[in-house]
Structure 1
Amino acid sequence: MLEKIKKSKMIYIIPAFLLLGLVLVFPIIYSINISFKNYVMTLPFREVVYVGLDNYIDVLTDPRFYNSLKVTLIITFGSLTLQLIFGLSLAIALNNKLMEENKLLKSQTIRGVLFIPSMLMGVIIGLMWQLGLNPTYGIFNEWLSYLFGTQSYFSSSTLAIPTIVFIEFWRGTPMVMLILAAGLKGIPMTPYEAADVDGATSWQKFVYITLPLLKPVLVITIILRTMDVLRIFDFIFITTSGGPGNLTEVLSIYAYNTSFVSMRISQGAAISWVITLIILIFSFIYFKYLYKRE
């Protein structure tokens, strides 16, 4: 009787599995399937046939793909470096004794305000910065004009990529701060007390205690943020759409343009799986060379 009851409970999770298969598993299988075919939306009467690795070869021999890869890597490493530096600095500041003793700075309101950029949708961020940096009426542009003069940040060949890097840094730093602050909370005080007895400086404690003990959290943070930035799409599509020219065309914008502008759906699917492979390669490298236990 008990076994029958246990088996009957499986009925209640079947809808969840069906929904998961519909919204997750089916699109994955379908995208893999069409990446090996010649499906083109502008040719509705053309027979869709299996073409093997032709789509992947076309992508990997396309100079535009390598330009998009270069732009993506520049934005990824540029923004990620800044996020780690400032995110770790803010995390250490939040865990400072003086910060904890100050009721105003300790309040959840201050921490919530710091985390606002990571809570905003990418579309909202894109619209906000597009309006704020508008050369005609943008309030951010007006403030910056006192230092740099009025600039067209998103249409400038020299300022477009640095602007994208800054926006991604602004958006991602609060998440890095939150994860590292949680990691710092888990570090025991005993090593620091022993270091104080030995007369270690703050820098020595940071290098020889904080960083080694925080290393697992740092690696996870780097992997998560790298995965996010490598597939960045939303606010770049709103602000520059990959322009001027192809200057800010990251891999996701390249996949979108191939799929829905050029209507080459199969090649767009192939690009998406190439992006997935790149993310897996980066994750493997991080785990292999950064996450080494001594």
Structure 2
Amino acid sequence: INAGQFNNQFGKITGNGKLDIRAATFDHRNAMTVANQLTVNAGSLDNRSGSLAQTGTGLMTVNATGQLDNTGGKIEGNGDALVKASTLLNSTGRIVAAQNAELTVGSLDNTQGTVAAGSHLQLSGGDIDNTKGQLQAVAGNATLNVANLNNTAGNVFAGANLNATLASLNNTGSLYAAGNQSLTATGAIVNTGVIAAQGNTSLTAKTLDSSASSLLGAGMQADGKLGTAGDLTISTTQALAAHGQVLAAGKATLTGASVDLAGSQTSAANIGLTATTGDVSTNKAVVTTPGTLSITSNVTLHNTEGTVQAGQL
């Protein structure tokens, strides 16, 4: 199907073979299109409350050079799915691939939406709003290479490893990997939620501000209990502040210009705290390890009303 403007509102298109739709403007509101193999290329695509589905196990492609509005809509593939858009609106929508899903977007609004892959999920682009949304790689790796990620009450999950490269992160929800998690931000990480992995967790940022209600964890099982292995490594070029739970089944290594663990509950098999230019604070904190505790402060160690316990200091 080739058209300048294709209006298929409330329409229905079905096919047992390949279906290729090309249009400058594709209006698919409240419509349904199903094919064994589906390819859509459009300047703009309006799929509000619509459904685009592929039944075959090949690659499903949905490409909009401008805006793709999938608000309340469904884009579902039975194999791999490739979705590209300058602006992707997926509020209360579903973009799901039975196998791998790759999304390349200028920006994504996934408010109360779902982007999920049965295996691997790759998301590349600009700002991502995942407020109360779901970004899931059910049984594989989740790879995010985006600008600012707003994960307010959202969920980012990887059944294997979670690797994220960001400009900044605001998290009140959960980022969890059943394997390892690596999170790198060129700017700030602000966390009042959960950032954890069943394996190792590595966080690198300009600054980290993790509140009293937060959890930073490694070796963290899905039931919230610590396993037997998993190292937590946190490194910031400026201030590192973690006031909630800082837990690792293995070693916890925290390095920042200053390290502020005031009020925290910090526990690991071994703990290393290093402030490269400023203070280390464990005021009103509980820092415990059955192994070795190493604290290096370039200026002052503050432990007012704090508890520090170690097998070896």
State TM-score, norm by structure 2. 0.19
Bigger-Rg structure (1/2): 1
- Identify the structure with bigger relative contact order (alpha carbons < 8 Å, sequence gap 6+): 1
State TM-score, norm by structure 1. 0.20
Q: Which has the higher strand share?
A: 2
Q: Which has the higher helix share?
A: 1
